[in-house]
Structure 1
Amino acid sequence: MNVDIRPARLNDLEALTRLDTVAAHDERRAVQIKGWIEDRFCHVLETDGDIAAYGVLHHHFFDCGFIEMLMVGEKFRRRRLGLRLVDHFQSICERPKLFTSTNRSNGAMQLLLKEAGFRESGHIENLDAGDPEQVFFWPCER
Structure 2
Amino acid sequence: MEHITIAKLNELDEIVRIDAEVIGDESRRTYIKKAIEEGGCLVAKVNRSIVGFLVYNTHFFECSFISLVVVKPSERRKGYAKSLIKYFENISPTEKIFSSTNQSNERMHRVFLSLGYSKSGFIDNLDEGDPEIIYFKQLKK
Q: Please, what TM-score do these two structures have when normalized by structure 2?
A: 0.95
Quote the Cα distance in structure 1 between the aligned partners of 2:61 and 2:54. 19
The alignment partner of 2:130 has SS state of coil
SS of the residue 1:6 aligns to: strand
CA distance in 1, matches of 2:5, 2:90: 13
Whether contact under 8 Å (2:40, 2:55) holds in the other structure is: yes
State TM-score, norm by structure 1.
0.94
CA distance in 2: counterparts of 1:107 and 1:92, whole angstroms: 26
Q: Distance in 1 between matches of 2:13 and 2:27?
A: 14
**Within 5 A, what are the aligned runs for 1:8-87?**
8-20=7-19, 21-22=22-23, 24-25=24-25, 27-87=26-86
Aligned to 1:108: 107
One-letter amino acid of the counterpart of residue 83, structure 2: R
Once superposed, what is the RMSD of the aligned Cα atoms?
0.9
Question: Structure 1 counterpart of 2:85, which letter?
Answer: V
Task: Give the 4+ runs in structure 1 shifted more than 3 A.
Answer: none
Deviation per residue, 1:54-101 (Å, 9 max, x gap)? 001211110111101100001110101100001011111111210000
Q: Which runs of 5+ in 1 are unaligned?
A: none
Matched residues in 1 for 2:54 and 2:140: separation?
A: 21
In 2, Cα distance between equivalents of 1:60 and 1:13: 22
CA distance in 1, matches of 2:5, 2:135: 24
- AA partner of residue 116 (structure 1): L
State the AA in 1 paired with 2:109.
Answer: Q
User: 1:28: Cα distance to partner?
Assistant: 2.6
Q: SS state of the match for residue 28, structure 2?
A: helix
Partner residue in 1 for 2:132: 133
The runs of 5 or more residues in structure 2 that have no matched partner are none
**How many residue pairs end up in the alignment?**
139
Aligned residues with identical type, % of pairs: 35
In the TM superposition, what whole-angstrom CA distance separates every residue of 1:10-62 from its partner, at most 9, and x where no partner exists?
1101101111122x32x331111111111111110101221000001211110
Give the deviation of 1:128 after TM superposition.
Answer: 0.5
